[in-house]
Amino acid sequence: MTRNSSDFNRLSASPLPSGHVFYLADGTRCPFCQELLRCDPEPLEDGASFTLDCPACFSTIVRSE
């Protein structure tokens, strides 16, 4: 079986204050409530750390410190 490029999700990107870029596959859903996640990580105070929380249930999906 071959895979077409259309089988893969596109990536959304959000720049972080540290200069790094956070990528999230389009269509990714929260594992807790199945809400569609946005590629909108929240930078933490130090600027190098971030968290991605579900907009519906507020569960932390990804956190980097």
What does the chain come to in residues? Answer: 65
pLDDT at 8: 61
Task: Name the CA dihedral angle for 49, 20, 37, 6, rounded to a multiple of 10 degrees.
Answer: -150
Report how far residue 54's alpha carbon sits from residue 63's, in angstroms, rounded to the nearest whole number.
12
pLDDT at 7: 56
Tell me which residue has tokens 């507020």. Answer: 58
pLDDT at 1: 45
- What is the overall mean pLDDT for the chain? 88
pLDDT class for 6, splitting at 50, 70, 90? low
Tell me which residue has tokens 């490029």. Answer: 5
